Chains A and B, each alone.
Chain A
């Protein structure tokens, strides 16, 4: 018999999957230097359109496709406004975030609370029968598998391929990338749109898989986009760290739900917000290597071990892409 908590944890993975995909999307976009603040609105609108498309056509694939295109389109607007028209990414993104949300609620009202197709589980033969790991990892829905694939692919792309190196460089210092022959604006457009597409896909995954239907404002989706933006930062613009950030967040949320009944004295709101300070604490830990007192403490170590310790702390450290949100003009 599989214990209860295994199913709880499996649920955490399902809840995390859309966020993971969106975090990777935003990470790619920000690594190229474009902040897509419209995320929250884009996800909602994409989710609604995806659901509507799936209901109308009866095809889940078309639903995901429509959502992906909506996400890409929203990102394209942000990219066009900032890269071509040279407007503020922040302002345009914020306006689109509000616009997308209202549009989703308005256009989505005919589709509220109606039955529609839903992504079913896709157990993987053989592996699904493993004890514990089977029900936890291998009896999941396709979006969970996809989210893992997306993270791995993004990591390989960013750190193991040449285009990925170009991506990191463009966000870091566009003028230097330009000097080395990179068409900066084109690269930025590309990743902004790709990131937006992933965000749109994530929106559809949330509704078509995790939630199983569009419920308008009570879908519980509003705000997710902002959390994704925050986790992108917590994750240090790194897909794997970002994914762990999401998992940590989803886990903390689930734990707070589990613990809540046994601690009736504490108001439920506390459980809702506790994950946030914990995330900030985690971030502090990763940046420990910068603190002077840590360096002083390490100075007592013998030379070779001191270097090693410094290197480890150093590799934990995160800093935003230096060219984030900055305009760049090719002469």
Chain B
């Protein structure tokens, strides 16, 4: 008898088939004397397209041809085949490798003779995990499947609590009964089944510490929210989970980050996707996500928008941190991205560039957890004071 959940079994079959199809074609080419070539869409900024209509980043149509008989491409070709065969084997053996496992399984030493000097040399199939990670991404693009769908796991980072029940594997989990803890969003969120939910919106918080404070203070109960933290840059599972909450449950998604370019980019990754992994956005981005704060106007106010700041002159003095050169550079970069070139965002960025000041969410809890929980967040949601 099998202890495996039914969804996993189905996923394995599908992934195996896709890998086999892609590489059978290659073998057929080889056996008929055709140079084996992998055609993979490029994962570069230049080949990243912002689909304004759908509000997300997509991978463009530019492809790279990786021919085994080209000395410059042979190694990457070998690595791609190698990773595919290891993943294929793991799928067949009902395993759940992590990307770190895959790195170790594929790593071995080739001892070869240099025909020029006749000396024996050594080379590893790969040296750093960066290299195996990179061909995993290539494989995802090649067979049009995310690694989670191939049952490859990675570290869990995202957490969720709220009045909601889900089915993970063969178990029902009540997200409202997590005590002081929270449910770690599993690496394969596509296999989660949403059972029932009693929430009106989703609040995603960049900072784990702030998430915990709001959780313990009972924020989600009081305001009928699902509370999520990405604990910094969101991993793919958290993004996919948020996307599903938006798509399948129609819940509005609010994102709360630090008031700095780093926080803005976290928001942007949730909303439109990331540049290097633009091929995933189709499944991971949540174009309807809203930037709740902390905004520059929250800090400084705006005469034009007739908005008063949430901070007093004295609080600003205490909480504001001076922007670094990298912050400034990053802000200027963001300003050049098409999806940041909206009126409201340019305003934000320009205030930042003028004031050269940033602020952490923790500053708001310092002003008072109550202020954050009962004033700042609800008021902003109620008055629609967010950036779409």
- The answer on A and B forming one complex is no
